[in-house]
Amino acid sequence: MIETNAGAQRLTTKSAPRLVASPFLAQYLLVQPGWAAGVRIPKVRYEELRTAGAEGRSVPDWLADAARDAWGTELPSSPVGDVVLVRERSRYGYGYGYGKASWEINLGCDYDCEFCYLGEKRFEGLDWAGKQTLLQTLRDAGVLWLQITGGEVLIDREFGASYEYAHQLGMMVQVSSNGSSLRKQPIRDLFARHRPYRLTLSVYGATAETYDKVTRNRGAFGRFLKGLDAAREDRLPVRLNVIVSDGNAHETDAMVRLSKSYGFPHQVFTNMSPTIDGEANPLATQALDHLKARSVFTGCNAGHTFFHVNPHGIASICKVGHDPSVNLITEGVEALPRLGAVAESLQLRTGGCSGCTKVGTCRTCRPLARLYQEAGDRRELYCQHGGYGS
């Protein structure tokens, strides 16, 4: 039984599957929710599991051996259907279905960082019935890896129910958070029952003075450290993103040392972007001495094999290229294939990028360049013609 913070709303569900056998693009995978390692299986093995589950046959020896070798998991001599969730193929996407998606469950946040790309952070989105419909749609689209993000994901009143339901539908769930609520026992209990595939946390400072000033939240640093302590104690698969701005750049090395002291892998991010609405505010917070040239942009599969969904169930090719879009609540999974054509149109070089002589070595995708141009075209921050990264 899962109780949401909405009070009377409750969801009665079965436990999440121990293993998931799923198509993934042109492959077939055997995964254990919460663990990075997976097993690629041939189509014949996938079909065998589908048939065995339908006929009530017991776990085959090869499956027991695979689980033992990959995860050290001892499978019981039970019917396949009690041990493995066999996901059906999707008819949608780039020939084989969509393999990944990200979902902003809510844009609301308990922090108020000046550099946030979300702009105005409203606590609004789908109700619980809408969230269920959306997650079922993602399942039907073929999504195996799902990133749940925000705003601050852990403070959404129905995060727990949504997270657990995604697991029950056979998804490998990654959670992106600021870690402010990670210390709370209900969250720890939830992640103990259903381990996240990955837990990505942002680091905004190495001292209380800096961290609290950047997040504009008094006492935030202490809560963040308690969250890190809880994650380490619970052996969660944490990855830290060190976010460098003009307000904390003097603690960059200290933030890296803090990350290493916990034994968590980390990445350092120094380049801010405009808000998703094209506002320039975050650009003023960049630590210019710490900016790094992006890698050459060679294209991506946004809209073809993965997509992004906002709190209202509106799907776009990614977080940056959010328009045009499709409404998964009113139109359903059948609308998703339109994103392929949207992706191709958004990558066309128009406006300030027309006739560019450095297109072969450009470091910025077209939708992101468009946001910069809408924000006032601070070309030195994203364009080699502007001097930076040339």
Looking at residue 66, its pLDDT comes to 95
Residues 155, 183: Cα–Cα separation, whole Å: 12
Structure tokens of 302? 């946004």
107-126 mean pLDDT: 85
| Class of the domain covering 100-339 | alpha beta
Q: Where are the alpha helices (DSSP H) in the chain?
A: 43-55, 61-71, 80-83, 128-140, 159-168, 185-193, 208-215, 220-233, 252-262, 338-346, 366-374
Residues 129, 368: Cα–Cα separation, whole Å: 33
- How far CA 129 is from CA of 4, 125, 160, 194, 248, in Å, comes to 12, 11, 14, 22, 41
341-363 mean pLDDT: 74
Looking at residue 104, its pLDDT comes to 95
Q: Inform me whether the pLDDT recorded for 299 exceeds 90.
A: no
* Residue 137: pLDDT band with limits 50, 70, 90: very high
Structure tokens of 266? 């980390």
Residues 33, 173: Cα–Cα separation, whole Å: 8
Domain boundaries, the chain: 19-86, 100-339, 340-386
SS3 139: helix
Looking at residue 349, its pLDDT comes to 65
Q: What is the pTM of this model?
A: 0.88
**Residue 366's CB: how many other CB atoms inside 10 A?**
18
276-298 mean pLDDT: 74
DSSP, res 15? P
Mean per-residue pLDDT of the chain: 87
Beta bridge pairs of residue 314: 327
What percent of the chain is predicted at pLDDT more than 90?
62
Q: Inform me whether the pLDDT recorded for 17 exceeds 70.
A: no
Bridge-based pairing state of the strands 84-86 and 100-106: unpaired
Residues 300, 318: Cα–Cα separation, whole Å: 10
Q: Inform me whether the pLDDT recorded for 180 exceeds 50.
A: yes
Structure tokens of 332? 């359903």
* Residue 14: pLDDT band with limits 50, 70, 90: low
**Residue 356's CB: how many other CB atoms inside 10 A?**
14
Looking at residue 386, its pLDDT comes to 62
57-108, pLDDT tens digit by residue?
999 999 999 999 999 999 998 999 999 999 998 887 555 679 999 999 999 9
Of residues 305 and 288, the one with the higher pLDDT is 305
Question: Position of tokens 């469950």?
Answer: 105
- How far CA 68 is from CA of 38, 73, 365, in Å, comes to 12, 5, 43
Question: Side-chain half-sphere of 40: how many Cα atoms within 13 Å?
Answer: 4
Looking at residue 323, its pLDDT comes to 82
